[in-house]
Chain A
C-alpha cells in the first residue's frame, strides 16, 4: 500500500482517484470515465483503503453512507411502527398484565403481537436505543473519514490542472481564441466582479467561491452529536428533574424534586369562553362544540427556606406570587412548574348543626375544616362539640374501630362528643355521610348542614440542565445545514493550453443552473470557447431550436 506518484510529481495517498494537485485521473475507473466523479474531490477516503484488522472492518462499516442511510431507514420504520397503536405511556394501565390485556382487548391479535414484540414501548426498547447509538456512531465516523481528506485535497489543489482533468468535468469547452491573454485577463476581471477568489498561474485561472459551504455537513453533524450528548447527560442524576404533584387549594407543600422550595396553592381557576365576549366571531363555534376552555390557572405563592435553616424547620421566606397558566410556567432557579392537570370538587369543609332530636331545635352550627379540624367547637350557651375521632376516607369498621383507607377526605366520618347544658357529661355519636351510629339512644344529634369543596391542581416540576446543550446542538445544526444548503461551492478553471487553444471547465456541488448563468456572464465579457453541460443534452437541443425561432 504505497503512495501513488502522479506524472506531475505529486505523491498521493493510496486509493486516490484524482491527483490532489493537478487533477490527473489516477485510478483506472477515473481514467475510463467520461465525467469524473468529483465527490470528495476524488481524494482517498481512508475507509476504502485499509481493510486489515477487525477494528478497521467495523470502522469501514460505520463509515459507509449506504450503512448510514440504512440505519436512518431502520429508525424511520421503527418510529412509524411505534405510532400504529398508542405507546405504553399513553395507556391507562399499571401492571404488565394490564398492558397485555389492554392491547389484546382493543386491538385483538394484532394488538397482542404488538405488545409481545415490545412495540408498545418502542422508544424505550434496548434495540431502538442501539439503533440511535449506531446512527450517532455512523455520523461521527463517516464525518471524520471524509472531512480530513477533503480538507487536504482542497488545500493542495493547484491552479493549473491537467487537461485530462478538465476534459472530464461536467461543464467543459475548448477551442481556439484570437487573443488568449486578453481573454484570460478579461475573464479574471469579470470573475472578481462576480465575487470569485481568483488565482492565476502562468496562463491558468482558478476561480472559486463559497468553499465554506463544503464544511456545512460536518458542522451540522457536530450539532447533532452535541444534541445526542445532551440527551445522554439527562441520565445522570441532578441534570434532570421530572416530578408531578397534586396541590389542593389552600395547601402549602414542599415542591417535589425542588428541595428547599415550598409552594402554596391560593386557588385554582377553570374558565370557559362565554358568548358575551365575542359572539360575532366565536358564536358559531361555541354553538357547535359547546364549552371551550379558556384558562386553567393556579394562583400560587412560592416560599424558600431561609439561608442556614434546616429542611422542615418552616423557617420560610416568601419569594413571589404567581399565576401558573398553560404556556406560562412558574420559573425559579432553573426549575419550571407547569399547569398540567386538575381535579374539581374535593370536599374541603363540612358544616353541622347540633340538634335536639325531640324538639328539632338547633343549638348552633360549626364548621369542620377537613384538612385542619379542631379538637373542640364551642357553640356558646354552654354547648360544645368535641372531636373524638376523625376518619377522612372512612371505609367501614376494622378490628372494632372505624377505619380510614387514606388521608384524603373522600368520605369523612367523625366521632363527636356533644356537650349540652342538659347532658354536661356528653353524648357520643358516630357521624358519617348518610349514616349516624349511637352507642345508646341520645337526646342530641349532629346533623349535616352543608359542605364546601375545593379544587386540586396537578403540577409538573421540571429542571433540565441539558436544555442549553440541546439548544446549542440545534443552533450548530442549523448553522451547518444552512451553510451547506444555501451556498454552493463553485469553481471555474480557464487555461491556455497551447498557442491559441483555451480550455474552460467548471464544477459546483449543486445548483448548476446558477453556475452556468455565471459562466455565461463571463463569456459575455471575455472571448472564450463555447461549453457544454454534458449531463443536460436537452439544453443544447432546446437552445438551438430556440435560437432558430
Chain B
C-alpha cells in the first residue's frame, strides 16, 4: 500500500514539474512586449500641462466629464485636417460635459501659435514642452487620440485622423449620462 502511494506521489510530482517547465518554455516563446502600453480599459494617468495662454490644465479637473485627448504636431497633415472639425463642435460638447484637449508634442511655442492663428482655433491647446505626457501615453504615430470616459477610464485609442462625423460619434460615446 505504501509502495503504491509512493508511486502515485512520484508520478504526480514529476507531472507537475514537467508541466511547469513546459509552461515556462511556452511563455518564453510567446511573450513579446516588455513595455506596458496604455490600452483600452486602463485608467488614464493624470497630468498637468499649460496651454498657450499659460493656464494650467489637469486631467483630473475634468473628473465626471468625458475627455477627448488629442496628441498632434504641426508637420502632420492628418492632424491639421481634423483641427477645424474639432473647432466646429467643441463648444457644443463642452456644454454636454465633454472636453476636447489637444496636446502639442513639444514643438517651438511660436510655431504652435502661428499654426493656431493660421487656422483660427480657439480651443485650449496644451503644450508638452519636455514631451513628458507624450512619453506617459506612449505616443508613437500622430495623431493619436484617447477617449476618456467620466470614470477616468480609457475607452478607445485612435491612431489615425478622423472625419467630423467620426469625431462627433466618439464625443457622444463618452458623454456623461
| Chain B residue at minimum C-beta to C-beta distance from A372 | B108
**Nearest Cβ in chain B — how far from A428, in angstroms?**
14
Interface string of A210-221 (1 = CB under 8 A from B): 000000000000
Bound complex: CA of A162 vs CA of B54, how far in Å? 95
Residue A254, interface by CB 8 Å: yes
Interface string of B102-144 (1 = CB under 8 A from A): 0000111111011000000000000011111111100000000
Bound complex: CA of A46 vs CA of B10, how far in Å? 10
Residue B49, interface by CB 8 Å: yes
| A375 touching B29, Cβ below 8 Å | no
Interface string of B52-81 (1 = CB under 8 A from A): 000010100000000000000111010000
Q: Which residues of A contact B46 (CB under 8 A)?
A: 310-311
Q: Which residues of B contact A46 (CB under 8 A)?
A: 10
| A404 touching B14, Cβ below 8 Å | no
| B114 touching A387, Cβ below 8 Å | yes
| B75 touching A254, Cβ below 8 Å | no
Query: Do A136 and B21 contact each other (CB < 8 Å), given the known contacts A242-B34, A254-B135?
Result: yes
Residue B176, interface by CB 8 Å: no
> Per a CB cutoff under 8 Å, which of A50, A58, A252, A313 touches B48?
A313
| A404 touching B114, Cβ below 8 Å | no
Query: Do A55 and B111 contact each other (CB < 8 Å), given the known contacts A129-B29, A406-B75, A407-B75?
Result: no
| B28 touching A133, Cβ below 8 Å | yes
| Chain B residue at minimum C-beta to C-beta distance from A60 | B14
| B136 touching A259, Cβ below 8 Å | yes
Residue A64, interface by CB 8 Å: no
Bound complex: CA of A310 vs CA of B54, how far in Å? 16
Interface string of A288-316 (1 = CB under 8 A from B): 00000000000000000000011111100
**Nearest Cβ in chain A — how far from B17, in angstroms?**
8
Bound complex: CA of A235 vs CA of B73, how far in Å? 33
| B34 touching A237, Cβ below 8 Å | yes
| B75 touching A393, Cβ below 8 Å | yes
Q: Which residues of A contact B10 (CB under 8 A)?
A: 46, 50
**Nearest Cβ in chain B — how far from A403, in angstroms?**
8
Bound complex: CA of A392 vs CA of B115, how far in Å? 13
Query: Do A237 and B35 contact each other (CB < 8 Å), given the known contacts A55-B14, A259-B135?
Result: yes
Query: Do A405 and B47 contact each other (CB < 8 Å), given the known contacts A126-B29, A232-B28, A235-B34?
Result: no
**Nearest Cβ in chain A — how far from B45, in angstroms?**
7
Query: Do A253 and B21 contact each other (CB < 8 Å), given the known contacts A235-B27, A310-B46, A407-B74?
Result: no
Query: Do A390 and B130 contact each other (CB < 8 Å), given the known contacts A53-B11, A55-B15, A372-B108?
Result: no
Bound complex: CA of A404 vs CA of B75, how far in Å? 6
Bound complex: CA of A254 vs CA of B130, how far in Å? 5
**Nearest Cβ in chain B — how far from A300, in angstroms?**
14
| B128 touching A371, Cβ below 8 Å | no
Q: Which residues of A contact B129 (CB under 8 A)?
A: 252, 314
Residue A130, interface by CB 8 Å: yes
Residue B36, interface by CB 8 Å: yes
Residue B158, interface by CB 8 Å: no
Interface residues on B, range: 35 or more
Residue A116, interface by CB 8 Å: no
Q: Count of A residues near B, CB < 8 Å? A: 55
Q: Which residues of B contact A238 (CB under 8 A)?
A: 36
Residue A388, interface by CB 8 Å: yes
**Nearest Cβ in chain A — how far from B97, in angstroms?**
22
Residue B33, interface by CB 8 Å: yes
Interface string of B11-35 (1 = CB under 8 A from A): 1001101100100110111010111
**Nearest Cβ in chain A — how far from B38, in angstroms?**
12
Query: Do A312 and B29 contact each other (CB < 8 Å), given the known contacts A373-B110, A390-B111, A407-B74?
Result: no
| Chain A residue at minimum C-beta to C-beta distance from B109 | A372
| B130 touching A133, Cβ below 8 Å | no
Q: Which residues of A contact B108 (CB under 8 A)?
A: 371-373, 390
Q: Which residues of B contact A438 (CB under 8 A)?
A: none
Q: List 23 A-B contacts (CB under 8 A).
A: A46-B10, A55-B11, A55-B15, A55-B18, A58-B18, A59-B18, A129-B25, A133-B24, A137-B18, A137-B21, A235-B34, A237-B35, A252-B130, A253-B131, A254-B132, A259-B136, A312-B47, A312-B48, A314-B50, A372-B108, A373-B108, A406-B75, A407-B74
Residues of chain A having any CB pair with chain B under 8 Å: 46, 50, 53, 55-56, 58-59, 126, 129-130, 132-134, 136-137, 140-141, 232, 234-235, 237-238, 240-242, 252-254, 256-257, 259, 262, 309-314, 371-375, 387-390, 392-393, 398, 403-407
Other than the given A252-B130, A311-B47, 4 more pairs (CB < 8 A) read A55-B14, A314-B50, A390-B110, A407-B107
